[in-house]
């Protein structure tokens, strides 16, 4: 069906081109009308608009088709999205210029006479324009792609779309977060998908009162994940101390899945966090049962 539509567009394109070059004479339809000059003008103008839009459509289709054929890409990656964004911008410009032409308004003279107004509009929409430019840079840079698991600032999730205005990020709570492209370039970005080893990391803080030893906590977390041992690479478990503070410690529990699976990561994260809650609750109960010892002269309370 897609190729049938393309063939029809090609036939219409050739017909319009013949009309525009006066190779196909259709003036007999209105030759005796007193508005012949108007018909000639609108015939040429509409043909020019249609030719531009259809030519733009063909260029987009051929560029995407050649790219997918060369790189064997089936879905939409950054290049395809970027081409689509450029196509949308040129399409808007073409339609605006075409409408002005239908009203016999010279676009160049209009833009020149309204230069002060456009300068003011540029100042008012500078953030919007900057977002668009940054969106193009992000799209073609290849650093971020749809489907990547990333952390941008304080937000972590999966990229579902990259537009000219923002990046759509789906977090673990299935909340859709829209991050402006301008903010992306000034924020710390971690792309977990691009690293060679697909290590999954669960970050958390724990009070020093609830931490017996790091090794003991690591064994407890590994034990709770025993039902998933066939899906996790052996010896890939690792509880790393990220930062030691005055009353707490920041830890990262890491492991490597044999096959990337977002749902499985979410399930493992849920079980790990629940196990941490159980450990903290147990330590709280033990602490409540132990009475505070009085300070005695000559003795230190540990």
pLDDT tens for 26-41 read: 665 565 666 666 677 7
Is it the case that residue 293 has pLDDT exceeding 50? no
- The answer to whether the pTM exceeds 0.75 is no
Query: In the prediction, which pLDDT does 300 show?
Result: 34
pLDDT tens for 119-173 read: 666 666 777 777 788 888 887 777 788 888 888 888 888 888 888 888 899 887 7
Q: How far is CA 2 from CA 6, 53, 120, 243, in A?
A: 6, 18, 43, 56
> Contact, 179 vs 169, CB < 8 A?
yes
Residue whose structure tokens are 């493992």: 268
pLDDT tens for 279-291 read: 878 877 766 665 5
* Residues whose CB falls within 8 Å of the CB of residue 164, separated by 6 or more in sequence, listed in order: 85, 88, 131, 132, 135, 136, 181
Query: In the prediction, which pLDDT does 114 show?
Result: 63
pLDDT grade, residue 2 (50/70/90)?
low
Query: In the prediction, which pLDDT does 47 show?
Result: 80
């Amino acid at each position: 069906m897609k190729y049938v539509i393309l063939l029809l567009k090609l036939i219409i394109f050739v017909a319009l081109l013949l009309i525009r070059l006066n190779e196909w004479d259709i003036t007999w339809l209105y030759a005796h009308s007193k508005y012949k000059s108007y018909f000639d003008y609108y015939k040429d103008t509409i043909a020019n608009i249609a030719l531009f839009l259809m030519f733009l459509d063909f260029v987009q289709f051929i560029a995407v088709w050649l790219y997918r054929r060369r790189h064997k890409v089936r879905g939409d990656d950054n290049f395809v999205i970027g081409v689509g964004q450029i196509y949308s911008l040129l399409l808007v410009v073409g339609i605006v210029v075409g409408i002005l032409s239908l009203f016999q308004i010279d676009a160049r003279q209009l833009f020149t006479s309204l230069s002060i107004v456009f300068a003011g509009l540029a100042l008012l929409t500078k953030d919007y324009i900057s977002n668009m430019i940054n969106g193009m840079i992000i799209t073609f840079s290849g650093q971020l792609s749809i489907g990547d698991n990333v952390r941008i600032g304080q937000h972590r999730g999966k990229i579902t779309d990259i537009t000219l205005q923002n990046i759509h990020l789906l977090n673990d709570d299935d909340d859709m977060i829209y991050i402006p492209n301008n903010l992306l370039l000034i924020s710390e970005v971690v792309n977990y998908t691009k690293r060679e080893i697909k290590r999954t990391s669960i970050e958390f803080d724990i009070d020093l009162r609830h931490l017996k030893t790091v090794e003991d906590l690591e064994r407890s977390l590994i034990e709770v994940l025993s039902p998933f041992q066939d899906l996790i690479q052996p010896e890939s478990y690792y509880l790393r101390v990220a930062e030691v503070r005055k009353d707490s410690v920041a830890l990262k529990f890491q492991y490597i899945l044999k096959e990337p699976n977002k749902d499985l990561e979410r399930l493992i994260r849920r079980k790990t966090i629940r196990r941490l809650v159980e450990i903290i609750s147990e330590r709280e109960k033990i602490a409540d049962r132990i009475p505070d010892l009085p300070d005695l002269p000559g003795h230190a309370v540990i």
